[in-house]
A and B are shown apart, each in its own frame.
Chain A
Amino acid sequence: MVVKPLTGNYAAAYAAKLSRVKVVAAYPITPQTTIVEKLAQFIEDGEMDAKMIRVESEHSALAAAYGAASGGVRAYTATSSQGLLYMHEMVWWVAGSRIPLVMTIVTRTLGPPWNIWTDHSDIMDQRDSGWLIMMAEHNQEVLDETIKMFKITEDPRVFLPGIVGLDAFILSHTTEPVDIPDQELVDTFLPPRRQPYVFKPGDSLLMGNVPRNLKENMRMREDIHNSLEAAKKVIEEVDEEWGKLTGRRYGGLIECYRCEDASHFIVGMGAWVGDMREAVDSLRTNGIKVGLIKVRYVRPFPREDILKWVVNAKSVIVFDRSVSAGSAGPLFLDVAAHLMAAGIRVPVKNILAGITGLDVTYEDIADAVLKSVAEVEETGKFSRFIEWYYGR
């Protein structure tokens, strides 16, 4: 174990190295580039026994990593924003073929106009594809969850690919102290690679040929859904195991902050959860009983965990850093739908902030929450379910 100052991107690179990734395929894009630069350096320096495949596009980057993974090795790629959208077709192919693979997404908004700052438009655009999707709050979580993601995705109850997301610049290019576990510890933690089938010479196998029976085709989709549901238990088991080895337990699909006696709940995910913690502290100082639910995994969605906390709440305020234009923020839509389906009638509101990378401070979050709580305390409801928040 050694504590080093690492950017979020370097934390991802160290995690891929420690996970003994054998093939890296990537195409450079801001703000992801320094991840694969670091991996290229590890390989060049002989610190990492892997092949780096340089490709002409992100579509090919994931296709190459996917091909390697289909051949039976741990494979890895990383991308952002426009590159991720260019890759989107392959994102579905990897999940549909049930090949475990880990990808880092350094979240960055989408054009036009050209903009490199963070929001969650790119990662949330992948949420229906069948991948496990998580967002990290800090660089230690980037490293930990990348290693854990290999174990989770290669579990026979799951057999799906997984995405670890981190916010552009706020994490990707910001240095924090990160505890890097020993190689021996990671080797003990990660079993030899498992996957549902392996393509190998002399053993011909077809993947993805035209289905003869569409019921079977639909069952494949149901099986992906069921496997994501089953992944919830695996995520918690792996979280517990990693906690025992390193002392760092995050709490599975969500992490709670000052929730025990809370009347009002903030829900959010990603780097700004750190600011939300400070906002909660500040609101608590003013006597407002606010708790924070940090969504770690958005797929599978932590329905049971969130409902358990908010069943008797006075209000739920969901912060989204992206929007499904014409409806609402995707995190809000999930929370609201599952509250309704479970028969829980809690006033719920969506605050859309930080979209396109607009800076959001903890004072902004406290301000938006304070006004929302004041309204619901006075009237028992929210007059608007959606608020575009531009700052104080």
Chain B
Amino acid sequence: MSEGRVKGKVLPISKPCVGVAGKTGSWRVMRPVYDDSKCVKCRLCWLYCPENAIDLNEEGGPFIKINYDYCKGCGICASVCPKNAITMVPEG
């Protein structure tokens, strides 16, 4: 967060923006890997991602895009995927 100063007070407030806590992707131990050929476009991964780190692509090409700058590797997307189109692989 960017700490606010209002009327001389040091305050724990900030304006919302992408990645206010820094690039949390560095916290990741397991990395979600997406296989577009198995995807049925159900959007569950996009709906369940607690970090809003999955973007949809309705224009053609791979249907989802995972933002690895902010994905913490929690694995919820892989867990909810009914077609096992997302697999968790160790980082590094």
Contacts and interface: CB of A to CB of B under 8 A. Distances in A.
Interface of A: 96-98, 156, 159, 196-197, 204-213, 216-217, 219-220, 222-223, 227
B14 A156 contact: no
A206 B14 CA distance: 5
Given A98-B11, A197-B11, A220-B12, A209 B6 contact: no
Interface residues of B, number: 18
Interface in B32-86: none
Interface of chain A, helix or strand or loop or mixed? loop
B19 to A, nearest CB: 10
24 contacts: A96-B12, A97-B13, A156-B8, A159-B7, A196-B7, A204-B16, A205-B14, A205-B16, A206-B16, A206-B20, A207-B12, A208-B12, A209-B12, A210-B1, A211-B12, A212-B21, A212-B22, A217-B12, A219-B3, A219-B10, A220-B12, A222-B10, A223-B9, A223-B10
Contacts of A98: 9, 11
Interface of B: 1-4, 6-16, 20-22
Nearest to A209: B1
Interface of chain B, helix or strand or loop or mixed? loop
A99 to B, nearest CB: 10
A207 B13 contact: yes
Contacts of B1: 206, 209-212
Nearest to B7: A156
Across the A-B interface, give the 3 residue pairs with the lowest CB-CB distance, nearest first. A209-B1, A223-B10, A216-B3
Contacts of A216: 3, 10
